[in-house]
Amino acid sequence: MSTLKTPVTEEDHIQGDKNAALTLVEYGDYECPYCGAAYPIVKRIQKHFGKRLRFVFRNFPLVESHPYAGIAAMAAEFAAMHNKFWEMHDMLYENQDALDIPDLLRYAESLGLPADELQQAIHDETSADKIKNDFMGGVRSGVNGTPGFFINGQFHNGSFQYEDLLAALENADNVKSP
């Protein structure tokens, strides 16, 4: 079974309690239809576990298959520089069919972010190193498609359907608890 090779740090995009008993790491691609299907499931999982779950998102844009995934990741990282990562993350998944540059600029404006600076950041590939580091960490950890999930550092080799992910997380929580 694959394990997470890159530990979670403050550099990651994290929702939830840093001391939570459970950590769910997703390697995702904003244009991937499977990631889009997993998005509301992860939200539901987060609601179910509440403070017991820490959710981490890492970029894994499969640009050969999804031509807008790379610039969407750059938009999310640009938003992160303005403390709006999760708002942009959600907007991208909720608008997966509209991820070209004009769309991304519109999303930035709707979040109160400077669209001209986003356009420059995409042009300059300002976040390319962060995205590449996320991607390579996923590759080293055995991710070969999206979404790729790790539960408490162990690759989740099952379905990301709600019941399956819920059971895997509950099992991990029971293993951790005495």
Confidence of residue 178 (pLDDT cuts 50, 70, 90): very low
Cα–Cα distance for residue pair 150/141, rounded to 1 Å: 9
Using the predicted structure, report yes or no on whether residue 177 has a pLDDT greater than 80: no
Exposed (0-12), middle (13-18) or buried (19+): which is 88, by Cβ within 10 Å? buried
pLDDT (tens digit per residue) in 76-112: 999 999 999 999 999 999 999 999 999 999 999 999 9
The pTM of this model reads 0.96
Mean pLDDT of all residues in the chain? Answer: 96
Instruction: Provide the pLDDT for residue 173.
Output: 80
Sequential DSSP letters for 29-94: -TT-HHHHHHHHHHHHHHHHHGGGEEEEEEE---TTT-TTHHHHHHHHHHHHHTT-HHHHHHHHHH
Contact 60, 134 (CB under 8 A): yes
Q: Which domains does the chain have, with CATH numbers?
A: 13-176 (3.40.30.10)
Residue 152 is classified by DSSP as T
H or E stretch at 155: strand 154-155
Q: Which pLDDT does position 63 carry in this prediction?
A: 96
The predicted model gives 65-86 an average pLDDT of: 98
Whether the CB-CB separation of 26 and 55 falls below 8 Å is answered with yes
Q: What single letter denotes the amino acid at residue 39?
A: Y
Beta strands 148-151 and 154-155 are antiparallel
